[in-house]
Amino acid sequence: MSSHDYDLVIVGGLAGGLSVAVSSLRQGLPLVRIIEEHHHVSFPELVGENELDIGYGECVESIEAVGPDRVLVRTNKQEYRTRCCLVADRRRRPDWEPPIPVTENDRVHIDEIVELDHVVDHDVLVVGYTDHAVEITATVAATGARVVLAAGGMDPTRLSPAGDNLLRRLERERRATILYRSVPDQIGEVDGYPMAYFNDRRTPDLQVDQVVFSSLRETLLPEDVGATDEAMATGLVWFVGEPEGDCVPTTTPGWRAGRDIAAACFPELEVGPEPSSLHRRQRNTGVLEELREEHYNAVITHFEPTHSDLWVLRVKPDQGGTSFVPGQYATLGLGFWEPRVDDAVDPNLDARWDRLVRRSYSISSRIFDDQGYLADEAGLDELEFYIVLVPPTEDNVPELTPRLALKRPGDRIYLGPKVTGRYTLAAVDDPSSAVVLLSTGTGEAPHNAMAIELLRKGHHGPIVSAVSVRQWADLGYMEAHRTLEDRYPNYHYVPLPTRESDVPKRYIQDLLQSDELTRFGVTLHPDTTNVYLCGNPAMIGLPEEGEDGLEFPETLGVVQILTERGFVLNRRGQPGNIHYEEYW
């Protein structure tokens, strides 16, 4: 029996083995051999495209050590001395059964359709979410049958590169329909043909000619390929799959296989940086489209940056109204699968990649409508939000705004079904009273809606809206507020930039302590004034209940200043004239 020298011998022409062969050749290993006991491999397209060296009809009989840096792979035809051997064959788990109820029918199969020649004009449903499911789909599609792959629960990062690429190719060339997020909950029978029942709004029930379930596979063991203890001790024999014990080097069936082997066995190869899991998922546009269809229920109609980190956006729900009480908030959401504007990595992303990240935002107001009148938000079909990009820090990786930063008009988004919140103007029942709206940053969003509501209803007492920001550029609504001041003598807008050279640094607390509000007609008195606070908790300065009464934070906040003047916090069951909404 002849013997040949190789860098890498791969046992099995399945998706995982083909992936490692292709990546190894591309990384610079010249001598790679695939041993396949059958006369075909899973994805024959890859053979010619990558000039793969395949020994068809070869069965492994033993794997032995022939020194510290070589093993001998013996087949029924020849012998191979190799620097590394990867066993990529896998087998069906003996106890595996379809995970859903299935009516007994000879048109329902597990893993394969025996008579593939007779399915040319058939509708075939493949059920599964692994490389093996992709292999079955590709095999059936090659016959000319119409194939649907119900791959509910599929995570693209768990596919091999070959499986992932072929899946996208099948979809792109319209040789198969991929249902990434759908899976039937039972297979019944109608007129002798299988009927797949889907229990979701995206997928209609399907009657097909054939159903094929892709079973879960398991890793082979050393004894299955005749690997001796000495061969295993070299660390040069690897198995695709989940670990079966500390003595068996294994690698996942996905993209890491080639990298793991290259790093362990071929130090001369330069292995590039690991692609992020999110990047690999984002290449699979079919998955993303289905996730968006499943979770998103609104469209972004307006996205206007005040600057790169501050935006005004409007969201229109697909169904339902947009009525709200000024001061209330709604929930926005995007999927963890969406790209980020920064390079931060979300903690535990792999476990959450197909879920939504949600956050509540106070509803703002456009202030003026398209005709220049005060906006009547009740007559519009959109909600407006005022949002700032939150940068990542060592202690906090923001999840939503870095994704929202990349959105534009026409993009889809999640909008919570309910608008809620107790931070409203309900306490303002005297149109001649003073209303003071104090905020930091985008905390002025609910105050925009409040101010318009008061003016539209004829409130003639003084209204002051003061907002503390870092720079003039952080005032996204200043021009509109100046117009309001020109039209309504009782309305006053007081911006307080703290990092501009042309104005002295002042905070909201300074404004109150200086009694500057008196020049706007406001005398801070609990009998005639309601104060609204939204923004930085340090500005608000909420106290805690202590043994001797209220205990305020060390940093002086607005609540302490006001309570010392006789104001009372408005809380459930305790009406007051200090109203607050913590913005983060």
What is the Cα 374 distance to its own chain's centre?
A: 38
The tokens for 71 are 């093993």
Do residues 185 and 104 make contact, with C-beta atoms less than 8 angstroms apart? no
- 109-118 long-range contacts, CB within 8 A, separation 24+: 109/210, 109/211, 109/212, 109/213, 110/212, 110/213, 110/215, 111/136, 111/212, 111/213, 111/214, 111/215, 112/136, 112/139, 112/212, 113/140, 113/210, 113/212, 116/140, 116/143, 117/143
Confirm if 327 and 362 have CB atoms less than 8 A apart: yes
pLDDT at 424: 96
- What is residue 465's predicted lDDT score, i.e. its pLDDT? 98
Architecture of domain 108-215: 3-Layer(bba) Sandwich (3.50)
Domain 3-92+218-276: assigned CATH number: 3.50.50.60
pLDDT value for 583: 54
- Report how far apart, in Å, the C-alpha atoms of 474 and of each of 311, 441, 477, 544 are: 10, 7, 9, 32
Q: What is the pLDDT of residue 520?
A: 96
- Distance between start and end Cα atoms, the chain: 74
Residue 358's H or E segment, with its range, is strand 356-362
Q: What CATH superfamily is the domain 296-415?
A: Translation factors (2.40.30.10)
- 40 sits in the region (left: phi over 0; alpha: psi -120 to 50; else beta) called beta
Alpha-carbon distance of 214 to 195, in angstroms, equals 17
Residue with tokens 């019944």: 188
> Hey, what are 254's tokens?
């996905």
The segments of the chain whose pLDDT lies below 70 read 1-3, 242-258, 272, 274, 582-584
Domain spans in the chain, listed from the N-terminal domain onward: 3-92+218-276, 108-215, 296-415, 434-582
- Region for 478 from its dihedrals, namely left if φ exceeds 0, alpha if ψ lies in -120 to 50, beta otherwise: alpha
Asked whether the beta carbons of 440 and 508 are under 8 A apart, the reply is yes
pLDDT at residue 351 in the model? 87
What fold characterizes domain 434-582?
Rossmann fold (3.40.50)
pTM attached to this predicted model: 0.82
